[in-house]
Amino acid sequence: MFAIIDCNNFYASCERIFRPDLKNKPIIVLSNNDGCVVARSNESKRLGISMGIPFFKIRDFVKERHINVFFSNYSLYGNISKWIVGVVCKFASCVEIYSIDEVFVDLHYQRIKSYLKWGNELRYVINAWLGMSVSIGIAKTKTLAKIACNVAKKDKKYNGVYCLDKKEEITHILKRLPVSEIWGIGRRLGPKLLIEGVVTASDLIVRDENFIKSMLTVAGLRTVLELKGVSCISIAPLGKIRKSIVYSRSFGKRVTNLNLLEEAISSYASSACEILRKEVLVAGNMSVYLTTSKHATYRYSNMKNISLDPLTNDTGKIVNGSIKIIKDLFKTGYQYKKVGIYLWGIVPASSVRKELYSQDGLDSRRKLILNTIDKINAKWGVGSMGLLSSGTKKEWKMKNEMSSPRYTTRWDELCLVK
């Protein structure tokens, strides 16, 4: 059996943990800078606010209905997500972090007499310890567990936990489940299937293998087998080495100056290198891109890749390389919305031959300097110490006027109790 733990209205629920005064009050969370709704509390959903709607379209409505508005606070959300994973790990040995608000669990190795009891206990502990409401779905495959979780979330009679293990219940649910709501198919592939007369999940599982492969490829065939109760998608356990790192942010205002673009990419590259060193990894390739808004009158977007030879996690080398790329990509006359860095070809630092690794300039003194900077930033906050090329004023930085305090990661933003 597999289980999935899905946090309910995660971003909005995180805002409530340290703000009990917001209980039962409508909340929306906006994407930084863009100002589109990315999370809603149940109260906001009942008021008719749709996901993804630009804030300027509902500004007056929000004011009239006294809806609480927040910009995304990813430091807070990411930290609470780690806490939730920590709790889940106390209940299970094989855990996969699927997203910031979803965790898969493989229950094959657990000695569980009652899956419902296990799920209810876990749900209670997460709520009692962290103040987070979750829904839990349990079934024979990951795909069926996702379906069970949606049932647990929508049908109050299950109290947030649903075990989909009876054949007649699976058959009944698949007959009512629109094909576009199946995990792995979604709204992108759903319309293609509708044209072929596949309306529900039960319509899909009776089609022959050749049809499924032609419409959905081999990945779609795995999904169909999972709907039939055959487990094809395994858990990716914790501790798996990451394949890549992407670090990018939208600017607080449009940027036309090359110097500001250099500052931004230097800052992002520095943060990406800190992640590499924290996880004792090195990267072999780097990509840098910059882009204007898709709504701009004059649009421009470009990317360039380079190899890092030898492999490295040295901030100086990667920052210098990223600045050179930005200079090559930059064109005057455009208002840039975002730059980003993508590190790939990542392997453990221990797997690189020492003679090559030392040629990268990472001698004992260099390593000591980088490790010292990392320790200072870990203690006093991100960006407390860094390269001058990252700038000091950071005029390009994201807007965060409506962000809540980073209660769990900044000493100066701790919750005050009087």
- CATH of residue 253's domain is 3.30.1490.100
Q: Where does a domain end: 227, 257, 277?
A: 227
Determine, yes or no, domain membership for 168: yes
180 and 293, same domain (yes or no):
no
pTM for the whole structure: 0.77
Portion of the chain with pLDDT greater than 70, in percent? 93
For residue range 274-324, what is the model confidence (pLDDT) as tens digits?
A: 889 888 898 999 999 999 988 788 899 999 999 988 888 888 899 999 999
**Where in the sequence is the domain holding 250, given as residue range(s)?**
244-390
Determine, yes or no, domain membership for 395: no
Distance (Å, whole) CA 108 – CA 234: 11
43 and 107, same domain (yes or no):
no
* pLDDT recorded at residue 86: 94
215 and 257, same domain (yes or no):
no
Q: What φ, ψ does residue 179 adopt, rounded to 5°?
A: -60, -30
Short-list 54, 26, 132, CA closest to 88? 132
Contact of 14 with 100, CB cutoff 8 Å: no
For residue range 349-376, what is the model confidence (pLDDT) as tens digits?
A: 887 765 444 544 446 777 888 888 888 8
pLDDT at 190 > cutoff 80: yes
Determine, yes or no, domain membership for 413: no
For residue range 387-413, what is the model confidence (pLDDT) as tens digits?
A: 787 776 666 666 566 678 888 888 888
Distance (Å, whole) CA 155 – CA 166: 17
Angle between the N-to-C axes of helices 142-154 and 167-176, in degrees from 0 to 180, rounded to the nearest 10: 70
46 and 126, same domain (yes or no):
no
Amino acid 229 reads G
Q: Which two tokens stand for residue 12?
A: 């909005």
53 and 175, same domain (yes or no):
no
- Mean pLDDT of the region 239-256: 81
Contact of 301 with 264, CB cutoff 8 Å: no
Tell me which of 392 and 334 has the higher pLDDT. Answer: 334
Determine, yes or no, domain membership for 84: no
For residue range 93-145, what is the model confidence (pLDDT) as tens digits?
A: 889 999 899 999 999 878 888 999 999 999 999 999 999 999 999 999 999 99
62 and 114, same domain (yes or no):
no
113 and 157, same domain (yes or no):
yes
Portion of the chain with pLDDT greater than 90, in percent? 45
Contact of 147 with 187, CB cutoff 8 Å: no
41 and 137, same domain (yes or no):
no
What single DSSP character describes residue 266?
H
